[in-house]
Structure 1
Amino acid sequence: MLVVSLSSCQTLSYYSQAVGGQIGVWRAAEPIDELLRDEETSPALRLRLELVSSIRSFAADELALPDDGSYRRYADLKRPYVLWNVFAAPELSLAPVTWCFPIAGCVGYRGYFSEDAAQRFAAGLRDKDLDVYVGGVAAYSTLGWFDDAVLNTFIDYRDTELARLIFHELAHRVAYAPGDTTFNESFATAVELEGVRRWLEDSGRSAEMAEFELARSRHQAFLDLVMRTRDELQAIYEADSPDEQKRLLKVDAYTRMREAYEDLKRDWGGYSGYDRWFAAPLNNAKLASVAAYNQLVPGFQRLLARNGGDLEAFYREVNALVKLPQEERRARLARVDGTGQRFAAGVPSG
């Protein structure tokens, strides 16, 4: 893993844009209750805000997610994304470049509230011969430091996607392991999936369950393709062969990945939901950005099942894992199965 250190001026500049960006979001946010009472609020926005309010109540009442000020305000930022994340990896390695911060710990990306700033930083990384990927972010969590707002960047998502996103971001306020991006994102993904299933059932929208499951199966097929390509590239990079040969094999691997995606689309009847992702150049950094969100989801799902679907008990066990060193945390989670052990206060129960 490559850790990039920055000069004090670069660090100060980065924190300055982060603080300024967060203040900008905060200033733009208006209480949803007031917007719903305002006669000038458009009918379309009113419907979405009413849906958000019902999703937010469900999250607190039925999913044991924080009942705080998050997602009680709405901000129109007048741009398509709230953040742009920059990912980087060496040319012949899948180990992501990481950056370390006081609150979040060491993470495999840097977020910018300005696309121009993100692209400038990315250009500097490319000058160091790194693979780089810049991706727009519709939502993010301040991990409880601020009340997160509903944003124009995601409010028009399909109902299930909107619920999924809110559940995911609220989950970050329940448990967070500094410096362990894969653990944090996998936990939030497990919560969002369980939350959407329960929300659809509770809302009497059983007809949408099949659509949701179809979307999940397509997403899983996409993830499987990414993981197969990662495994192939890992073998290439670890082989005892010249770098020039590795570069050629790398190009071949990404070509096969695109061909495999076209096969998937045919199996999906032409569904093209991932075309945009494949349209941009493929590289190690882009693969790392996907893997960080999903690798540990099955372990969390097994842990939830071990708790009989009791989310509050599940959250307690996850927070016990958070207290452990990363390697031990991962090992404990991997061992959870039908006969796996439970955790309490950071130690296995007898």
Structure 2
Amino acid sequence: MGWVVAALLLGLSGCASPTTGAGYYWQSVTGHLALMQAARPVDDWVADSATPEPLRQKLVTARRIRAYASAELALPDNASYHRYADLKRRAAVYNVVAAPEFSLTLQTWCFPVVGCVGYRGYYDEANAQAFAASLPGDLEVAVYPVPAYSTLGWMNWAGGDPLLNTFIGYPEGELARLVFHELAHQVLYVQDDTAFNESFATAVERLGGERWLAQAGEAVRNDYTRFNERRRAFRALTLATRQRLQALYADTTLDTDTRRARKAEVMADFRRDYEALKQGWGGYAGYDTWVRQANNASFGAQAAYDQWVPAFEALFEAQGRNFTRFYDAVRALAEQPKAERSATLQALLPTPDATLAASAH
């Protein structure tokens, strides 16, 4: 969840550095082609006696999730997620994000077709780290693994986006949410509005995930509940921290030294509160790396995924909880100029307390 491939349609080649210029586009093209070549139909994996049984069961479940996405959530019925690939690595891509010292607004990079986005993705982690190191020293930079990405349906003629080893092992409810999220990007994508695109897809994943879990067995729901309770608590903590940072950065009465000192206090509180959360998690340390590296860039990237989620959920309710009508309403919203679109979403947001609770889902 998180990277839209911009370069695939460009057909660029070159021997330049993979972090810049034509070399960057070339690594995008060759990286995705390698991923596509590694994929083969889910049915073949399931029928193959060499497929480990746990993987076979996950793929059978993923096959049911894919059918449910189109039949019950009105998501595209196409070639995507009918194949599986083992990439032999922990992430599909690695994203680089950057933000100023006193802002959560992400640096953007602009590409043909998809426009400007607040991240830059690499198939090789070393290349991502090299690009991060090349950015100006006055920016706060983060590199994070991305388990899945969308080609917006442009590659369905060639087999579509595949299921990957980077997320196939997720709890069933989370696997369903991820597939729903990525397919939502194929419903609608708006140039130069990362927050709109990711918040819409996140809303679809939550709404669809709730429906999937409602018809799943009790064991599946219990397994997902344990997973999700930790995530909800962590998201509530990070949202509260983002709000404190935003208020601090907006205070024009403070000088640089005071702002810097107070920022350090906010971050110290964040890490202390995280350690307190962990006391109830039985040793679960899945967020440790994120917390250790947390900065404006990582908080800004997280905000892009949930800024407008409560507004989209309110719009879904207004459309009678009907996915087809909801998508039509979102498409109409996407036709508005960005400023008008943002104002409409702002008006749909519930009260601050309700927004805090919703964003923790």
TM-score bracket, normalised by the shorter chain, equals 0.7 to 0.9
Residue aligning to 1:132: 141
Matched with 1:53 is 63
Aligned to 2:259: 246
Q: Structure 2 unaligned runs (5+)?
A: 1-13, 351-361
Q: Deviations over 1:181-236 (max 9, x none)?
A: 11111111111111122112223x24544654564454333223223222322333
Question: Equivalent residue for 1:104?
Answer: 114
Q: Normalising by structure 2, what TM-score? A: 0.85
The more displaced of 89-98 and 108-117 is: 89-98
Task: Map Cα deviations across residues 104-157 of structure 1 (whole Å, 9 max, x no partner).
Answer: 2211110101101100000011x4321000000110111111110011111111
Structure 1's 91 and 334: CA in aligned 2 closer, same or farther, altered over 3 A? closer
Correspondence for 2:163: 150
Asked if the contact 2:308/2:349 (under 8 Å) is kept, the reply is no
Which residue matches 1:26? 36
1:207–1:52 Cα change, 3 Å: closer
Question: Could you say what secondary structure the match of 2:98 adopts?
Answer: strand
Alignment partner of 1:335: what SS? helix
Structure 1 equivalent of residue 197 of structure 2: 184
Q: Match for residue 231 of structure 2?
A: 219
- Tell whether the 8 Å contact from 1:60 to 1:66 is kept in structure 2 after alignment: yes
Q: What are the residue-to-residue correspondences of 1:110-129 with 2, within 5 Å?
A: 110-125=120-135, 127-129=136-138
For 1:298, the equivalent position in structure 2 comes to 310
**Equivalent position of 2:187 in the other structure:** 174
Aligned pairs for 1:1-350 within 5 A: 10-125=20-135, 127-146=136-155, 147-203=160-216, 205-206=217-218, 208-209=220-221, 212=224, 215-238=227-250, 239-266=252-279, 272-278=285-291, 280-336=292-348
> Following TM superposition, by how much is the alpha carbon of 1:38 offset from its aligned partner in structure 2, in angstroms?
2.4
Q: Distance in 1 between matches of 2:309 and 2:226?
A: 18
Give 5+ residue unaligned stretches, structure 1: 1-7, 339-350
3-state SS in 1 of match to 2:186: coil
Q: Is the 8 A contact 2:84 2:164 kept in 1?
A: yes
Matches of 1:37 and 1:16 in 2, distance apart? Answer: 35
Distance 1:180 1:150 in 2: 26
Structure 2 CA distance for partners of 1:42 and 1:14, relative to 1, 3 Å: same
Other structure's SS at 1:293 match: helix
Q: 1:271 to 1:80 in 2, by over 3 A?
A: closer
| Offset of residue 31 of structure 1 | 1.2
Do the aligned partners of residues 111 and 158 (structure 1) sit closer, same or farther apart at CA in structure 2, a change above 3 Å counting?
same
SS in structure 1 of the partner of residue 121 of structure 2: strand
Q: Answer whether contact 1:171 1:188 (CA < 8 A) is retained.
A: yes
How much identity, in percent, do the aligned residues show? Answer: 48
- The 2-side partners of 1:45 and 1:220 are apart by 28
Structure 1 residues 155-186: Cα deviation after superposition (integer angstroms, max 9, x where no partner): 11111111111111111111111111111111
Give the 4+ runs in structure 1 shifted more than 6 A. Answer: none
Residues 64/117 of structure 1: CA separation in 2 closer, same or farther (3 Å cut)? same
Kindly indicate whether the alpha-carbon contact (under 8 Å) linking 1:303 and 1:337 is maintained by their aligned counterparts in 2.
no
Alpha carbons of structure 1 residues 233 and 333: separation in structure 2 relative to 1, 3 Å: closer
Residues 29 and 75 of structure 1 are in contact (CA less than 8 Å); yes or no, is this contact kept in structure 2?
Answer: yes
Q: What is the alpha-carbon distance in structure 1 between the residues aligned to residue 261 and residue 214 of structure 2? A: 50
Q: Distance in 2 between matches of 1:270 and 1:44?
A: 25
- Matched to 1:192, the amino acid is E
